[in-house]
Amino acid sequence: MRTLITGNWKMNGEQAWTIKPAGFDKMVPIQARKHVDILLCPPFPYIRELFVASASRNIAIGGQDCHASEQGAHTGEVSAEMLADCGADYVIIGHSERRAGGETDADVQAKAKAAFRAGLTPIICVGETLEQREAGEALSEVESQISGSIPDQADSFVVAYEPVWAIGTGKVASIADIKDMHAHIRELVGAETRILYGGSVKPGNAADILATDNVNGALIGGASLNMADFAAITRAAS
């Protein structure tokens, strides 16, 4: 299974306009692209621009969310079909920053169905809070998010395990905890599904995390905004 390195730009990325095709070669070394799959998820307005600028560079583009409906009176929302129209192949769904805003497992499941309908691969995010981890509930919480968020009839999808307390904090789960959690998720989702780790992945810890059993890639926030850091992570992955 090929490793998938995903950059989640969140609500950043004015640099999208400045990345010329050569910029992609800096951000994602050509050599690394031969061995790993690379996915960039910019804010909606930059998707088309990045798709066009990265054309024929083996870099996939994804959205950071989508609405469950195909179209209609949903001011401010974007459908999975629209993302696909703009060149996206993937969509991140159920990120903890969205779950914190009230998104439920049922919402995430509806969005995953929308992604399948549009021919996109959803990256379904799950993860426990610090309180849940300290209470010994990390595995059961993630299991319940997975069973509630993944449709029964699922096409190909990716799971991203992101402990909420590790996102943007500089704190990383221990390799032993990542190994346990990914083994647990593996039992739930089967051998064919890629399982990413996310939460403060940086050039200094990427190689160890990516070498852990059942870690098939990474979802990277902060470090994906820095070309040199992202390049170093893709090199560590390859």
User: Could you list the active site residues?
Assistant: 95, 162
Using CB under 6 A, pick the residue from 88, 198, 216, 229 that binds ligand PGA. Answer: 198
**Least gap, CB of 233 to ligand PGA (angstroms):** 10
- Cβ atoms of 150 and 157 within 8 Å: the answer is yes
Q: Does 93 bind ligand PGA (CB under 6 A)?
A: no
Handedness of CA 74, 77, 82, 84 (dihedral sign): negative
Q: Per the structure block, which two tokens stand in for 162?
A: 């992101």
Q: Which two tokens stand for residue 206?
A: 């990427």
Indicate whether 215 belongs to the interface with ligand PGA (CB under 6 A).
no
Asked whether position 219 contacts ligand PGA by CB under 6 A, the answer is yes
Sorted by sequence, the CB contacts under 8 Å of residue 230 that are 6+ apart come out as 7, 27, 28, 220, 223, 224
- Select from 58-66, 80-88, 160-168, 174-182 the region that touches ligand PGA (CB under 6 A): 160-168
Residue 28 carries which side chain, given as an amino acid letter? V
What's the angle, vertex CA 217, arms to CA 88 and CA 33, rounded to 5? Answer: 65
Min separation Cβ 222 and ligand PGA, Å:
3
Among 109, 121, 200, 234, binds ligand PGA (CB under 6 A): 200
Instruction: Report the interface residues with ligand PGA, using CB under 6 A.
Output: 8, 162, 167-168, 198-201, 219-223
